[in-house]
Structure 1
Amino acid sequence: MHFRLVVLRAARVVALLLLPALAAAQGERKVLTQDTYDLWRSILQPTLSPDGRWAVYTLSPTAGNGELVVRATAAATEYRVARGSTGRPLQSVTGQPFSPQAAQVTGDSRFVVFLRYPTQGALDSARARRARAADQPKASLGILSLADGNVTEIEKVRGYSVARDGGRWVVYQPEADTAASRNGARAGADSSARPARRKDTGSPLVIRELATGTETRIEHVSAYELNESERWLAYARAGADSLGVDGVYVRDLTTGVETALKVATGNYRSLAFDEAGSQLAFITDADSWGAETVRFAVYHAALAGPRSRPGPQQATRAVAASEIAEGLQVAERSRVDFVESGSALTFGVSRIQPDSIPADSLADKAVVDLWHWQDARPQPMQRIQAGQDRNRQYTAIYHIAAKQMRQLGSREFPNITLSSDGRTAVANTNVPYELDAIAGEGGTDINVINTLTGAVRRVATKVRGGGQLSPGGKYVTWWENRAWRVHDIAANRTRELTAGVTGVSFEDESHDTPSEPGPYGLGGWAAADAAVLVYDRFDVWDVDPAGVRAARNLTDGAGRRDSMTFRVVDFDADLDYIDPAAPLYLRAFDIRSKDAGVYRDRLGANTAPERLVMAPKTWPVLQKARRAEQFLVARADFREYPDLWSGPRFDQLTRLSDAMPEQSQYRWGNVRLHKWMNSDGVPMEGLLYTPEGFDPSRKYAMVVYFYEQLSDNLHQYHRPAGRNIINPSVYTSLGYVVFFPNIHYTPGYPGPSSVKSIVPGVQSLIAQGFVDPKRVGIGGQSWGGYQTAYIITQTNLFAAAVPNATVVNMTSAYGGIRWESGVERAIVNYERGQSRIGGSLWEYPERYMENSPLFFLDRVTTPVLFMANDADGAVPWYQGIEFFVAMRRLGKEAYMLNYNGDAHNPRKYANQKDIDRRMQEFFAHHLLGAPKPEWMERGIPFLERGRDQLNR
């Protein structure tokens, strides 16, 4: 199916979109409501073409159908193509949010390739009729020509691939014929040799020439890989044994010649090219297919042979199954890859799993979980990680020239990092300290491995975090005893990386939890490991890892002098080092004004960084074209939507998008920094959001929301959405003043710290005269929910409170489990973490009680609404039950919402909107004098659950 897309000039498109907005501007602006949320569009997956001449993105509503937008960066040409349902809010509480596959621009910047999804209407119809998977609407492949905007559509495509540096071909797989696939799977099984062995199922693969539309179809393809230069296409075929097609083939796309690298019955997986496109590797179980025990082996093929035998060579077995250590095997789903130099390839080995226990054999047996006091991981964690444990792979390497295999990873060394030539590896392991971690005394050993000889050398013992290998493989860096360390692998010497730097701290200066402060991080390495960039709070330091050259402040001290943080912008994710000959771009953030921007510097330069742009904005997108000096950015503030801009310089940006012109139809507030002193005389700051048309002589209702430190988000855009938080865009549109105060923490006293910070902040605003002291509400989620619950036990300042997903009893929560991870809460939450108690329940029993709202609920005069979901994996929902039962026993107004089966932050879209609605209604009643909604007046009896939703 083909269709022609008419080319519209961008100026005309924008003008048409602005008509309703301009009309609205002449009349009364509307209030943001829940009906608005679904319509609010987002810019997804923005990217530049390699030549920088085109910007590509998906414009998607929260729910409904989106469109692909392709806009010229230096002209007014714009193409728009419907992409189907790209919003698709999550309907299941167990799944993951849908995310459309990003459109791809070909390497020659001539075509855009993308998937078009079924429309929201088609999906709703299929859901309503409970269509089988085979009958569900399918995606199609779209190919847009940038020369004229013509679009070709190919229906029922499940996936595609284009080469990063190509432009001639697209390779795609049509949706399989379900019946044929089932028959193929049955026919493919070698029933005579081993009936239980399953064969991978093949389906057609199509190679399409983009310019001409010429297609070549290959049958029975179960896996494929296109190399980055677009010369080679490798594919595995899997069909009925009678066809004799099982094997791995490579096609030279410049000539169309196909070469069989290995043909034999079996499964073929994990095809991988090296970076140069001169080698291919894969795994297969063909060598043992007819045997009682079937195991995978690793194969390797050279794609350029000697002059006497030019072209791809037959694949040879690199690693036989018999070479793997006893009890292990080449993992059936192993990821095969080449090291950057191409001199070695890596693959995974896994444990051979014992036969599963027949279910009927346990029918009359006890089934019990044994919680052993010396288990490194508690049973809930083991349960959650069972699949990961069952499928765990350990890294192995094969050196091609030496024809030598070595297993590097193991139970003791689960994490392996390799150098670009594969000759050196770093193994970080916390295994020796797993039991110590129960008491918060864990750590990591750092080991260096010579992958050719297998020699292992420990370079650090029981340090925090782990070691990082430099790109060139010469050094290992880590954080230990509040300083950076560097180990010279060749010299076997360890030193403090920043030993020559005085008067500057490289640890987190604002760290306020009862644990050792961590570092600000590293900004990257120069070519050949000649230098490493180290961050302090503000500046970037150029440090010689060998210690020969003195460290130099790359940003010339401008960061600390001007209270501005500088951080490296990585414009080329494919480059693992910083090119000293190229400009070095830096993100900048002024911690006083909250302005942000971009500066430019260069390794080795002796001047201060050059300012390119600095503004009271955020810059959520910063990209650069791969082959051109063309930038793509999104800029935003509280009132300005994060639209896309592009230009060759940051002072020559042209606006490319106008994603939400309808925003001008709605009431939209303003924001400013507010400063005050906490009860201990510490200077504080927060964000004050005021409604449109704010009149300081009036009295407003105010809602307070907080979470640790939020003031740096002064210029953040808040998209209207239904959530379990206070959205300042929505609440200011409803007429509220909204206050986001920071909190200054005193270790051991998180509850009192919140009171000392927030209450004076609220009182300072009341003193200014525009906040009605009788109409102040407060809300928080999770940690903010806990502090909300605590604050209302200490003051009657608030007329309504929404402490969602809160802990009210630290003494019972201390011994709980974070069910999403299986982690015990004691250390991670209370002794060392966010709750900041600083020790165990037995060391500081008074602190646990003094900071627990439960023990002071008799003082509460504030009505509460809160959410406690029974599938909350972070905060045990029984904390909500303790809260509700206590409030009910004390005869205090309380409403608890349990969204059945939902999480800490609701995942189901309907639940997100429901909690948002009830929070608005709750605050409206208590702060604005609105009538009680029925659910507050009479509740929802169990037998009537859901009835109140029928008309929504």
Structure 2
Amino acid sequence: MKLHSIKHILYTLLSVIFLLPTITRAQKTLKPITESDYHLWYDLHLSKLSLNGSWVSYTLSNLEIDSLCIQETKGTKSYRFKDGYGLQFLGDHKAAFGIKNQMVYLDLTSGHMTYYPKKTEFAISDDQTYIFRLEKDTNKLSIIHDRDSDSLTISNVNKYSYDETSDRLAIIIKDSNTYSMEVIALKKGFPKITILAPQKRPILQIGWHPKGKALAYALTSSENSAGFLGYYHFENKTEKHFDPLISNNFPKSHILEPSWEYPFMFSLDGSKIFFAHKRREAVQSSEIPQVWKYTDPFPYKIMNATQGWKNTSHVSVWDVKKNKSLRITDEEFPQAIYKNANNQVLVYNQSTYGFKTHYRNRIDLYGMNLVTGKRTLLIKKYDHSINQLKRSPSGRFLLYGHQGQWWCYDMKKQKKINLTAKYSSPESYKIMMNGLESPVGWNENETAVFMYDKYDLWKVFLDDKTPVRITRGKEKGITYSLINPHIKSETPYVNEQALFFSMTKGLLRGYAYSKNKKNIHTIDFKSFYTERSISSPDGKSIAYTTETNKRPTAIKYFSIQNKKLKTLVQSNPHYKTYQWYHTDTITYSNKHGKRLIGTLRYPIGYQKDSLYPMIVNIYEKKSQFYNDYINPSQYNHSGVNASNLTSKGYFVFLPDIVYEVGEPGFSAVDCIVSGTKAAIKTAAIDPKRIGLTGYSFGGYETMFTITQTHLFTAAAAGAGISSFNWNYVTTEQQIAYRYYMHEDYQFRLKNSLYDDYQGYLDNSPLYHAKNVQTPLLLYAGDKDDHVSYKQSIAFHLALKRLHRENALLIYPGETHSIIAPTHQRDITRKIEQWFGHYLKDESKAGWTP
């Protein structure tokens, strides 16, 4: 060995020896977390990227901090505004947002700020050239050129509508008691056209031709009129007007009425206008007493309000060229979908098959021809969400999921295509909680759809071409999901030149991109948790959050142009000065040999030669939160905070739970007990000091578990169900039956109560209350309509009669989550006091029995 190499080794060893005391001192200087430190931690939430990704916005919040932040992505400039809210980027160098009672217009480059009244709205033209500012207190609209002095101010503006296709503004002017409308072109001199001269009817709605060639509007009704429709064509300067009452099929009792369900809009070809209408006076029931009929598809509250669909909004269509209208919805077919439609819309009746026993109610879906009015059955007993019925941007194709597969219906050829069968086998679909994951978009000429299997994104052609797999996740067990930028359509055209993806494999998370249809490049792929990711509107950059169980949330940024991953902000930088807990995974199996994962968080300052208490926190699957960084806090909607507990000497265990259909309670107990026993064997956990807690469905699981095992020393259950039998025959906020929740949803009982009465009893905690030996804290809100607080009262009364140790907390005004900060703090403290007494021999709190 060469002499200089020996000297180098000796020097290194000496350096380490001399540095050891320094390292040890540094480790010992880490501070313990106390309740007085909790206020230092805050939440970071990623909000938006500007047009070209030059700026990112995010918020910082806790009870003491509420700040809006704007950060430069390619430089170091940043802004922070206390009590800022509602930010919108205006192009890439301007922004508008609110602060208390003001609106702020900010030049991001210079930092110059202009203040306006709170009721001021900002927007920007599609080419980012003109900024619109409407001061609603003074009804003044300003149109400002972003790069020169060209501007226009208009007074008495009631509202306006911008059309990005034609680059025009329609402006409604209210002067005294009259209303008029002008259209202004966004070009030099702002040339304008008067569409509607001053008249006394308010203008209800404005709609734009898909290609910007025309404009339509609706005027309000009067005592003798249902309202009027108007139309103006910019190229040939023609005007048309229409009185719906002249149509034979327009209900004489109806008036034009805006509806969120049925927006005022043109057909795709611009030849027709869809408009909503409603009864002038709602039908009122004079029934005393209330009459609840077994044939009713909805609870009485809905039946009484809708009166057999008589009182709901309806939609008709005006054929501008023929100057006549056609009614689309009626009491037989009261629902319609017409987005991206030309001559055919979709109609259905959501109560065709009676009351709801499945998560998605079955419907018969019809196509309605807008020329003939004829309805044709398209899908019998459609069994997916209405929101998953998606027409292509051109309107020709309809995508829908049915009986476990994805289909495409060609409106032109009246032909169905089984998309799923083209590229995948059923066992490899990517399954979501309530069905197959939706297709994500189309190629630009609508010859192919982008879809998922279990791992990858595919380009599936409508003809006989072989499907193309875009990603290569299957070989490595990685699941890819597309991140769409700035979606303006339900199923948009996918820009194949620049794609961003999220990546998932077990505890690993990451992001990737492809450019110009070439290989997939990984940006970041590690063990971390990500809450949110966004891509810039131009589709060339991405920002996302990342955190681990030891590091708080950070925001990272990546641009396809420079291909560099950059950390923009790290929240809670003081975390490095505090002691923190260690997190590990526990593997175990249920009685069927199914391998499961649990997350075990160690007490801070853990010493393996001491025994520690453990609290098991349950709710279905929890392993996805392995890398979730939990800010210590006294304000928690469920009352449980792992960071609080680990700082107070507890292990916290989160087991994964899998279920058997028909046996939700027993299968949960199997997983919870198996996981808990595996955790006890892993570390220095005292088997005589084990707590159990859960909220909502976890509250139910907690109650049921302590009826089946005496493994747990104490328990706390929030907002849980104690009796499936009783819950089955109640309503959700008096607007929906709960049958489906038991037969086809989270409760997983499969059959109706009357086909498996004993099964409902067997899986209900109330039925086994006499077995409880574990002291139980129950809590709920008295305004909870999702899980009635009376379920907690029932279990409390059962345990009371049996002389079992328990306490019940009812929080006034709270719904299914504890929201009020005073109540959050109270339940957090009381749960810690409850477990502190039973698991750590602390003195009983004064409120406990």
The interval holding the TM-score normalised by the smaller chain is: 0.7 to 0.9
Q: Does 1:154 align with 2:67?
A: no
Q: Does 1:432 align with 2:352?
A: yes
- 1:761 Cα deviation after fit: 1.0
d(CA) in 2 for partners of 1:913 and 1:798? 25
Please, which of 889, 901, 905 is the counterpart of residue 813 of structure 2? 901
Q: Does 1:817 align with 2:731?
A: yes
Give yes or no for contact 1:680–1:756 (8 Å, CA) kept in 2: no
Residue aligning to 2:16: none
Residue aligning to 1:473: 395
Q: What pairs up with 1:765-844 in 2 under 5 angstroms?
A: 765-819=679-733, 822-825=735-738, 827-844=739-756
- What SS is found at the alignment partner of 1:250? strand
d(CA) in 1 for partners of 2:61 and 2:357? 46
Residue aligning to 1:332: 257
Q: What pairs up with 1:282-431 in 2 under 5 angstroms?
A: 282-285=217-220, 289=222, 292-302=223-233, 304-306=234-236, 316-318=240-242, 320-323=244-247, 325-327=250-252, 329-334=254-259, 335-339=263-267, 342-354=270-282, 367-382=288-303, 392-400=312-320, 403=323, 405-418=325-338, 420=340, 422-431=342-351
- 1:789 Cα deviation after fit: 0.5
- 1:151 Cα deviation after fit: 0.9
- What SS is found at the alignment partner of 2:474? helix
Give yes or no for contact 2:318–2:324 (8 Å, CA) kept in 1: yes
Give yes or no for contact 1:166–1:228 (8 Å, CA) kept in 2: no
Residue aligning to 1:695: 607
- What SS is found at the alignment partner of 1:934? coil
Q: Does 1:50 align with 2:12?
A: no
Residue aligning to 1:641: 552
- 1:774 Cα deviation after fit: 1.8
Cα 1:24/1:350, change in 2 over 3 Å? farther
- What SS is found at the alignment partner of 1:663? helix
- What SS is found at the alignment partner of 2:599? strand
Higher strand share: 2
Give yes or no for contact 2:613–2:650 (8 Å, CA) kept in 1: yes
Deviations along 1:538-571, one digit per CA (max 9) or x if unpaired, are: 233332234x22334443xx43332222222212
- What SS is found at the alignment partner of 2:440? strand
d(CA) in 2 for partners of 1:260 and 1:788? 68
Please, which of 511, 514, 521 is the counterpart of residue 598 of structure 1? 511
Give yes or no for contact 1:24–1:664 (8 Å, CA) kept in 2: no
TM-score by length of 1: 0.78
- 1:468 Cα deviation after fit: 3.3
- What SS is found at the alignment partner of 1:907? coil
d(CA) in 1 for partners of 2:556 and 2:420? 39
Q: Does 1:461 align with 2:402?
A: no
- 1:44 Cα deviation after fit: 4.3
Please, which of 749, 766, 776 is the counterpart of residue 864 of structure 1? 776
Q: Does 1:540 align with 2:457?
A: yes
Residue 443 of structure 2 aligns to which amino acid in structure 1? A
Residue aligning to 2:17: none
Please, which of 168, 189, 196 is the counterpart of residue 232 of structure 1? 168
d(CA) in 1 for partners of 2:244 and 2:465? 48
Cα 1:521/1:258, change in 2 over 3 Å? closer
Give yes or no for contact 2:340–2:392 (8 Å, CA) kept in 1: no
Residue 521 of structure 1 aligns to which amino acid in structure 2? S
Q: Which runs of 5+ in 1 are unaligned?
A: 1-22, 87-99, 118-138, 177-202, 307-312, 512-516, 938-952
- What SS is found at the alignment partner of 1:588? strand
d(CA) in 2 for partners of 1:355 and 1:442? 26
d(CA) in 2 for partners of 1:47 and 1:391? 40
Residue aligning to 1:524: 441
Q: Does 1:116 align with 2:99?
A: yes
Give yes or no for contact 2:408–2:417 (8 Å, CA) kept in 1: yes
Structure 1 residues 445-454 or 413-422, which shifts more?
413-422
Cα 1:415/1:166, change in 2 over 3 Å? farther
Q: Does 1:31 align with 2:33?
A: yes
TM-score by length of 2: 0.87
Give yes or no for contact 1:417–1:469 (8 Å, CA) kept in 2: no
Residue aligning to 1:182: none
Residue aligning to 2:194: 260
- What SS is found at the alignment partner of 1:505? helix
Residue 241 of structure 2 aligns to which amino acid in structure 1? R
Cα 1:161/1:106, change in 2 over 3 Å? closer
Deviations along 1:74-133, one digit per CA (max 9) or x if unpaired, are: 111223334x2x5xxxxxxxxxxxxx42x22223x231122222xxxxxxxxxxxxxxxx
Cα 1:45/1:342, change in 2 over 3 Å? farther
Q: What pairs up with 1:137-152 in 2 under 5 angstroms?
A: 139-152=101-114
- 1:919 Cα deviation after fit: 1.4
Q: Does 1:250 align with 2:183?
A: yes
d(CA) in 2 for partners of 1:742 and 1:577? 36
Q: Does 1:845 align with 2:761?
A: no
Cα 1:854/1:636, change in 2 over 3 Å? same
- 1:321 Cα deviation after fit: 4.4
- 1:837 Cα deviation after fit: 1.9
Residue 697 of structure 1 aligns to which amino acid in structure 2? D
d(CA) in 2 for partners of 1:337 and 1:293? 25
Please, which of 405, 419, 427 is the counterpart of residue 483 of structure 1? 405
Identical counterparts, % of pairs: 22
- What SS is found at the alignment partner of 1:828? helix
Residue aligning to 2:131: 169
Cα 1:505/1:171, change in 2 over 3 Å? same
Deviations along 1:412-466, one digit per CA (max 9) or x if unpaired, are: 444433363633323344332125x459995121222333443432121112125
- 1:167 Cα deviation after fit: 4.0
Q: Which runs of 5+ in 2 are unaligned?
A: 1-24
- What SS is found at the alignment partner of 1:374? coil
Give yes or no for contact 2:357–2:744 (8 Å, CA) kept in 1: no
- 1:474 Cα deviation after fit: 2.9
- What SS is found at the alignment partner of 2:352? helix
d(CA) in 2 for partners of 1:919 and 1:535? 44
d(CA) in 2 for partners of 1:333 and 1:40? 45
Structure 1 residues 344-353 or 698-707, which shifts more?
344-353
- 1:641 Cα deviation after fit: 2.5
- 1:496 Cα deviation after fit: 2.8
- 1:712 Cα deviation after fit: 2.2
Cα 1:44/1:160, change in 2 over 3 Å? farther
Give yes or no for contact 1:685–1:741 (8 Å, CA) kept in 2: yes
Structure 1 residues 747-756 or 468-477, which shifts more?
468-477
d(CA) in 1 for partners of 2:176 and 2:284? 29
d(CA) in 2 for partners of 1:506 and 1:321? 55
How many matched pairs? 812
- 1:235 Cα deviation after fit: 2.6
Cα 1:853/1:431, change in 2 over 3 Å? closer
Residue 583 of structure 1 aligns to which amino acid in structure 2? A
Q: What pairs up with 1:546-625 in 2 under 5 angstroms?
A: 546=463, 548-555=464-471, 558-574=472-488, 576-579=491-494, 581-591=496-506, 594-601=507-514, 609-625=520-536
Cα 1:580/1:762, change in 2 over 3 Å? same
Deviations along 1:488-533, one digit per CA (max 9) or x if unpaired, are: 322223343333446552556798xxxxx83233232222321123
Q: Does 1:77 align with 2:77?
A: yes
- 1:68 Cα deviation after fit: 3.3
Structure 1 residues 324-333 or 639-648, which shifts more?
324-333
Deviations along 1:361-400, one digit per CA (max 9) or x if unpaired, are: x9xxx843211111111114446x6699787333333444
- 1:653 Cα deviation after fit: 1.7
Give yes or no for contact 2:205–2:258 (8 Å, CA) kept in 1: yes
- What SS is found at the alignment partner of 1:738? strand
Give yes or no for contact 1:485–1:494 (8 Å, CA) kept in 2: yes
Give yes or no for contact 1:297–1:321 (8 Å, CA) kept in 2: no
Structure 1 residues 727-736 or 773-782, which shifts more?
727-736
Cα 1:444/1:545, change in 2 over 3 Å? farther
Residue aligning to 1:944: none
Cα 1:694/1:382, change in 2 over 3 Å? farther
Cα 1:482/1:320, change in 2 over 3 Å? closer
d(CA) in 2 for partners of 1:26 and 1:706? 34
- 1:739 Cα deviation after fit: 0.8
